[in-house]
A and B are shown apart, each in its own frame.
Chain A
């Protein structure tokens, strides 16, 4: 029941979008919305069934379905109402991910050698401020500033703040952690904000493929696992078992990653008709395949990179507290890599 009550808000948003679209007479978009809603209802039913049967995958399926509900709601709102709505939604996503990142890092007094110290709080507040600032700059379509705001000006502002605080101890560690998180979540993930200007459909293309990659990778991994087990000892088996980073995640193999990326490339070509022409030129099939492959390949690293970060924190301080049950980072980790990549591929090709 709890999982269903979580879905009320996205459901209401979808209903509102449907109403708006009907009022505006955009029947084509309304058709897509209804199809998506139907599909989501089906998956919600499946996840409820799995939960009821206490299947092993129940948690996974229901959390993914919830993510999809939200994605659909945000996109449909973006289509049917003002584009500021999508800016606020995606901005809040960046903010939540950034907040979770800072909350995960252990914080003590500087002398205790933790990653953050209590004196970092003003700088962290400035880091959060980059989100609304990026929203504004993206909203007024000021590309030149958007693209250097965090990596240049925020990056330089933090050391200045540290100097004004007159501190030495742990400064390098703190500055590194703050800049890294802000670059990941306010800048890289924040590219989604500027992508709204390029077109919500491109955003949908990127989000859809990134989320699909996770599902595809799961099944490809299962299939490859079965295949490897059946193979005789030898070169072919060793090649299939070659792992990307055994310490970070023993389950990710190069073979699985590349195969999933190929599958995502195929999916990208399949959803190409949804993409509108950019600047008069439609994306070619080859271009979509390349973009899909890139999303598939780099999406793999989203998972691995944040697995590495979490492991690092865990190893240093196993008793560390993880307040909240956010899990926002777990849901956006692929997007941190795929959103800027997709954005720049399309921006470079068409603008």
Chain B
């Protein structure tokens, strides 16, 4: 049932925003981290997983925003949300349901900025993703840069408008490599590395060639 809903959503994303991933993620389980500008992001990131596995992918969401009401029920039905307490003080305890899901062989979708923020501005990543990388060193982390989504549905504007959206899949990272590079316990540094990778991915435009394209002679 959920797969069917996602199939329709993917078709819509493709037709309205021209957004389609180059290839689906083959790893299982996997953690996908992405920049977060709009409510469209979670739809885009879910399209990276094969349809038959979509019901075992879970999105990490803020309990204060997605914990109640129509939005909360919708998010739980479509994206199987894991609710975490933002700014709860005890970061480790807040992550417990997320660990639970990974142990239960689910894949995760995480937006480590923690919130959508201003359009086109990448906020500093929360250290929680670093903690997960350290505790699950063999689960691949796929950084994804979502380009153009901030125009389609910016925060605070309820009107969706079609613009081209690109889902840029960046090179995957393993927690064990992050630990080796930054040392055990350096959660912030690990989160910062993922943030830097996505920042690079966002910047990496296709600059105009210095000369006119060489395709035609007339």
A residues contacting B by CB (< 8 A) are 60, 92, 95-96, 99-100, 102-103, 107, 118, 121-122, 124-125, 128, 214, 217-222, 224-225, 248-253, 256-257, 259-260, 300, 303, 307, 310-311, 314, 318-326
Complex CA distance for A325 and B20, rounded to whole angstroms:
11
Does the CB pair B205–A321 fall under 8 Å? Answer: yes
Residues of B within 8 A of A99 (CB): 18, 162-164
Does the CB pair A125–B205 fall under 8 Å? Answer: no
Which residue on A lies nearest to B151, using beta carbons? A107
Complex CA distance for A60 and B215, rounded to whole angstroms:
7
Residues of A within 8 A of B15 (CB): 92
Residues of A within 8 A of B211 (CB): 250
Does the CB pair B18–A218 fall under 8 Å? Answer: no
Q: In whole Å, how far is B62's beta carbon from the nearest beta carbon of chain A?
A: 24
Residues of B within 8 A of A249 (CB): 212
Does the CB pair B203–A121 fall under 8 Å? Answer: no
- A-B contacts, CB under 8 A, total: 104
Which residue on B lies nearest to A217, using beta carbons? B218
CB-CB under 8 A for A121 and B159, given A249-B212, A250-B212, A320-B205: yes
The one of B161, B166, B218 that contacts A252, using a Cβ cutoff of 8 Å: B218
Q: In whole Å, how far is A297's beta carbon from the nearest beta carbon of chain B?
A: 11
Which residue on A lies nearest to B202, using beta carbons? A321
Q: In whole Å, how far is B210's beta carbon from the nearest beta carbon of chain A?
A: 10
Chain A CB within 10 Å — which of B162, B164, B207, B218 has the most?
Answer: B218
Q: In whole Å, how far is A239's beta carbon from the nearest beta carbon of chain B?
A: 15
Residues of A within 8 A of B119 (CB): 118
18 additional A-B pairs beyond A118-B154, A251-B216, beta carbons within 8 Å, are: A60-B215, A99-B163, A121-B157, A122-B159, A122-B161, A125-B161, A125-B162, A218-B216, A218-B218, A219-B217, A251-B214, A259-B218, A314-B208, A321-B202, A321-B203, A322-B205, A323-B165, A324-B165
Chain B CB within 10 Å — which of A122, A128, A322, A326 has the most?
Answer: A322
Q: In whole Å, how far is A267's beta carbon from the nearest beta carbon of chain B?
A: 15
Q: Is the interface of B mostly helix, strand, loop or mixed?
A: loop
Interface size class of B (residues with CB under 8 A): 20 to 34
CB-CB under 8 A for A251 and B157, given A260-B218, A323-B166: no
CB-CB under 8 A for A256 and B164, given A107-B151, A318-B207, A324-B148: no
Q: In whole Å, how far is A337's beta carbon from the nearest beta carbon of chain B?
A: 15
Complex CA distance for A80 and B48, rounded to whole angstroms:
37
Complex CA distance for A124 and B212, rounded to whole angstroms:
29
Which residue on B lies nearest to A60, using beta carbons? B215
Does the CB pair B148–A256 fall under 8 Å? Answer: no
Complex CA distance for A96 and B164, rounded to whole angstroms:
9
CB-CB under 8 A for A125 and B18, given A118-B119, A323-B147: no
Residues of B within 8 A of A303 (CB): 216
Interface string of B147-159 (1 = CB under 8 A from A): 1100100100101
Q: In whole Å, how far is A71's beta carbon from the nearest beta carbon of chain B?
A: 19
- Please list 12 pairs of residues, one from A and one from B, whose beta carbons are closer than 8 Å in the complex, sorted by A's number: A96-B18, A102-B163, A107-B151, A121-B159, A220-B217, A221-B217, A224-B218, A225-B217, A314-B208, A320-B205, A321-B205, A326-B18
Report if B206 contacts A (CB, 8 A).
Answer: yes
